[in-house]
Amino acid sequence: MKYQRTEFEEVFADVAFESDKDNSRLEVPISRKTPYIFLTFIFLLFSFFWVRTLWLAIFEGEQWSLIAARNTERVFPILAPRGIIYDYSGEALVENVPIFRIVVDLTRMPQDKNILASQLGYIAKSLEIPQSELEDRLAKSESSTNLVLIREVKQENAVELSLIQAQNDIFWMSIESVPERVYRDSTAFAHVLGYTSEVTKEDIGSQANYLPTEEIGKTGIEASFDGILRGITGKNIFVVDAKGKTDKTFIEQEAKSGKNIRLTIDSKLQKALFKSLAQETKKAGARSAAAVALDPRDGSVRALVSFPSYDNNAFAQGISSEDYSKLISDNAKPLLNRVVSGLYPSGSVIKPVVGLAALTEKVITPQKRISDPGFITVSNIYDPSIIYTYRDWKAHGSTNFVEAIAESCDVYFYTVGGGYGDIIGLGIDRLAGWLRQFNLDKETGIDLPSEVNGLIPTPEWKEKEKGEPWVLGNTYHLSIGQGDLLVTPIGLATAISSIVNGGTVYKPKLIESIFEKKDFENKTEGQVINKISASEENFNWVKRGMRAAVNSSEGTAKLLNQVKVSVAAKTGTAQVGSKRTHAWIAAYAPYDDPELVVVVLIENGGEGSIAAAPVAKAALDAYFEDKDQ
C-alpha cells in the first residue's frame, strides 16, 4: 500500500488544532482570594452609603431640610416704613402714605408663553394700559428675582386684580400695600430733604443689603441717613407646591420702622427764605440763586435754599421720562444744590476775613487811614513804562478800617492784601494761609451729598494749572475776592459765622437729634473744624465794620437797618465777566448777641446791596418776627 506523502506544514497544523481543542475544554480553578476581595468591596460600598446616610441625617440634616424648604418657599420682603423727618420745632416735613403696587416673582413666571400672555392680558385690561407695556417692563427687568411691575395702582384696581388673580391662577403676582413718601412744601425743602426712588442695578451693586423692590434715599437727608431712616425689612414667606402655586403664607419676620430725624431747620424761615429768594431772583432778571442761614453758636443750619428747585414728590411717586428729561436739560440746573455744589468768586464778602488777617498780622491798625482816589497804579517791574491800573468801584477818599468794610473800599484791601506805598501787605503766602484757616479750600462736612471743595489760588497752583507765574495783580484780586478764588455759599457762611462767634469754625449741623420715640431723643453736638488765631479785639473791629455797613450813611447794606433787631452785614458784587456780576450779602443779627447768620447769592444778579439785601432782610424779619428783643 502506498501512502500519500505528508508535508511538514500539515503535521504542524494538526498539532496546533489539537492543542486548541484541549485549551478550549480546560477549566481553570478560581483563586481563593477572589470571593473575599469581592465581598470586601461590597461591604465597603454599603458601609460608605450607610455612614454617609447617617452623616446627612445627624450632622447635616437641618441644613438639607432648609435647602428642601427653600425649594418650596418664596420670600417676599415686607418693606419697613421709613422714619419721619421733622423740623426743629417738631413739625413733620414728610409722611408715609400707604399705596398699592404690583410685584411679580420672576422665578415663578409661567414657562408657557401663551399662558403668560393671557394672564398679562387680564392685568392690562384691568389697569386699562397696553399689554405691550407690561411685556416691555418684564423684558427690561434688571432683576432675576422680584420686580415692581406697576408702581402704584388705585384701591379699586387692587381689589379687582385680587379677584382676577384668584380666578386665573396668577400665582406669580403679588398685590402689596407699601408706604410711599409724601413731602410737604416740596419745592421749598427739596434740596434739604432730597427724595426716595426705586433701587437700581448700580445701587444693588454698591450695597449688598438693598432689595430690588424697595426704595432708597437718592439725595439730600434721605440719602445721607438712608441707613437710619430705612428701618429693618420684614419677611413674608410663600409656601408653593410643585406647580409653583401658593399653598400657604406666613410672616417669618415683622418689619421694623426706621428711626426718626429732627433737623435743625426752621420751617418758617426756610419757606420765607425760599419765597423771597425766588421773587428777588426773578426781579433781578436772573435764573438761579442760593441762600443759607446758620446759627453761629454751634453751626446749626436754620435754612438752606437752592433756586430753582424741583418737586421731590415727582421722584418719590415715580417721575416720567419726559419730566425727568426736562429737568436735566434745563440750563438753570434745578437739581443742582448750589449751596453745597456751586462754586463762585466771593467778591467783597471776603473782606472781613482779609481785614482780620491784616489786623492780626499787624499790617495795619484800625485807625490808620489810606487814601483812596478811586484807583491805584503799579509799574511793571521789568518795564516801568508799562502801568497797571487797579480800580475801585468809586473814590472813597481817606478811609480807616471800619469805613473800609462798611463802604467796601477796594483800594484799602488792595493795599493791605498786596501792599502799596509805605504799607507792606500780607502777601500771597500769608493771605492764602488765612483763607485756609477759615476752611475755604475744603468741604465743610455738612450732611448733604455732593459738597465740593473751594479754591484758594496760590503761585504753585497757577504755575501748575495755567503755566503762568504769579504776579502782584493776582494778590490784589484775591484780596477783594476776585481772580481765581472760588467758594461755596455754605463755605462762606461757615467762615462768616466764625468771625461772628469769635473764631470757632463749626461744621454745619443739620441733625438736631435721631430718635424712635420723642421722649428719648439723642441730640447731637456741634463739631469744631478749626479755631482762628486772632484776638477778641480784632474780631470786634471787624464786626464794627460790618455794623457800620448797615447803620452808617455810606454803608452798603443800609436796607437792613429796617429790621427790628440790630444787624451787621457785608455786601459783595463779584465780577464774572465783562458785564456780569453775582450779587452777595452776608448778614447777622442781633449785633450784640448773634444767633443767626444769613448768606445770599444771586447768580448774575447785579449788586449785592440791591439784589441780595432784600432777601437777607426778609429772612431776618421772618426769624425775629415772634422773638422779643
Report, in angstroms and rounded to the nearest whole number, the Rg of the chain calculated over CA atoms: 39
Do the Cβ atoms of 476 and 410 come closer than 8 Å? no
- CB count within 10 Å of CB 185 equals 13
Class of residue 301 by CB neighbours under 10 A (exposed 0-12, middle 13-18, buried 19+): buried
- CB count within 10 Å of CB 75 equals 15
C-alpha to C-alpha distance for 81 and 179, rounded to whole angstroms = 6
Class of residue 116 by CB neighbours under 10 A (exposed 0-12, middle 13-18, buried 19+): middle
Grid coordinates belonging to 533 = 488765631
C-alpha to C-alpha distance for 317 and 323, rounded to whole angstroms = 13
Q: Is 348 a known active-site residue? A: yes
C-alpha to C-alpha distance for 195 and 99, rounded to whole angstroms = 17
Task: Tell me which residue has cell 435754599.
Answer: 305
Q: Which of 480, 458, 439 is nearest to 352 (CA)?
A: 480
Hey, CA dihedral for 161, 162, 164, 165, is it positive or negative?
Answer: positive
- Taking phi over 0 as left and psi of -120 to 50 as alpha, with beta for the rest, 598 belongs to beta
Q: Which of 293, 265, 258 is nearest to 190 (CA)?
A: 265
Grid coordinates belonging to 82 = 421709613
Q: Measure Cα distances from 39 to 42, 54, 526 in Å.
A: 5, 22, 83
Q: Measure Cα distances from 23 to 10, 19, 27, 123, 492 in Å.
A: 20, 6, 9, 83, 111
The DSSP code for 611 is: I
Q: Which of 627, 559, 629 is nearest to 587 (CA)?
A: 559
Do the Cβ atoms of 419 and 427 come closer than 8 Å? yes
Grid coordinates belonging to 319 = 417721575
Q: Annotated catalytic residue: which of 267, 348, 513, 566?
A: 348
Class of residue 515 by CB neighbours under 10 A (exposed 0-12, middle 13-18, buried 19+): middle
Q: Measure Cα distances from 417 to 242, 360, 474, 500 in Å.
A: 82, 13, 10, 22
Residues labelled catalytic: 348
